[in-house]
A = this chain, B = another copy of it.
Amino acid sequence: MRQSQRGQVDPFIVMDVMEAARRAEASGRHIVHMEVGQPATPAPAGARRALAAALEEPLGYTVALGLPALREGIAGLYRRWYGIDLDPARVIVTPGSSGAFILAFSALFDAGDRVALGEPGYPSYRQILRAMSLQPVGIQTRIEDRYQPRPEDLPTDVQGLILASPGNPSGTVLRRGELAALAARAGELGMALISDEIYHGLDYGAGFHSALEVTDKVFVINSFSKYFSMTGWRVGWMVVPESHIRTVERIAQNMFICPPHASQVAALAALDCEDEARANLAVYAENRRLMLARLPAMGFDRIAPPEGAFYIYADVSSLTDDSLKFAGEILETAGVAVTPGLDFDPRRGAGTLRFSYAGATSEISLGLDRLAAFMAAR
């Protein structure tokens, strides 16, 4: 049976590490998970309570753009977080931010269009683009720029630009002025701007700015996955310009029908659970403190400033030129799963590792002990 060209997206290299970790655990070993990109905590208690109370209702298809109360609640976040007065009509609830990318790419780009993105970056941008017959155009960013693109880095012959702040794997944040300069340059060049803000809320003092603070000509994408600890629930959202609401609505009606109803009920209640989200953040903050106190002394000293999210991205090119093999050794010898950089940066990822600190503090602490022993014995 036929296979398409566009379906031939790259495999995730981290899957090999995860599979090896699973096998080690199946054989009885204890593994510390610094490879996973998700909270270990459940959805906020209030969210789960709200869903439990709604389980007698039919929970059929909702309207494609999501429950009106949820869209209003999300607009309220923009007031609380950024002081922005946002029309809830511009808020589109999506099946995870992943679903938002599919909608955005469909609404903005035609087959063959080129879309720029920073490397290192979230690997699925590239793969979703390919699966939709679009061409990812990587911008090699610099550690001294916190792995974020400069306006002068933007290619002049592309139709779109994806920004991510905080970025994955870098954890670095674009300042307001940087966002404004990038948005302005993208506008000059006629590029559609997509801003991935899914780690907003997870910052450690640097603060964070939405692209909506500097322009309305942007698709802003966010999610309940990370800050609200609801990865498996598949609820995200997208803020689009007034001019694109109808287009996105029609695509969403056909491609998704609606985001999961039960998850929308939970997400609506989660908006009132910022206390719990902040408690999770305090755990990440402590994990991050431990990481920063110990990783550099072990030899992981060339790292991007970990301003947000729950990742530390380390340049280990002085230690290895094969990060996959190196991650394999760390897993095998130290019992710590980490992510080789290859998925994030096809060109330089053989010399980088990502450490996630989304787990419990006791696990992170144990993992650091093991990493220290491993590095000392090398």
Q: Chain A residues in contact with chain B, CB under 8 A?
A: 1-12, 15, 38-43, 48, 51-52, 55-62, 95-96, 98-99, 102, 106-113, 123-124, 127-128, 131-133, 159, 190, 192, 217, 231-234, 241, 243-244, 247-248, 250-251, 253-263, 266
Contacts and interface: CB of A to CB of B under 8 A. Distances in A.
A334 B123 CA distance: 55
B255 A108 contact: no
Given A61-B232, A260-B263, A108 B3 contact: yes
A250 B10 contact: yes
A193 to B, nearest CB: 8
A266 B59 CA distance: 12
Nearest to A52: B52
B251 A234 contact: no
Number of this chain's copies in the assembly equals: 2
27 contacts: A1-B108, A2-B190, A3-B247, A7-B107, A12-B250, A42-B55, A42-B57, A42-B58, A42-B59, A51-B51, A52-B55, A60-B232, A61-B232, A95-B99, A95-B260, A96-B257, A98-B254, A98-B257, A102-B102, A102-B255, A106-B132, A124-B253, A127-B253, A128-B255, A131-B254, A234-B257, A234-B258
A62 B55 CA distance: 22
Contacts of A250: 7, 9-12, 127
A1 B248 CA distance: 13
Contacts of A190: 2
A5 B110 CA distance: 6
Would you call the interface of chain A mostly helix, strand, loop, or mixed?
loop
A3 B244 contact: yes
A262 B59 CA distance: 13
Contact of A55 (B2, B48, B98, B123): B48
Given A1-B192, A60-B38, A124 B52 contact: no
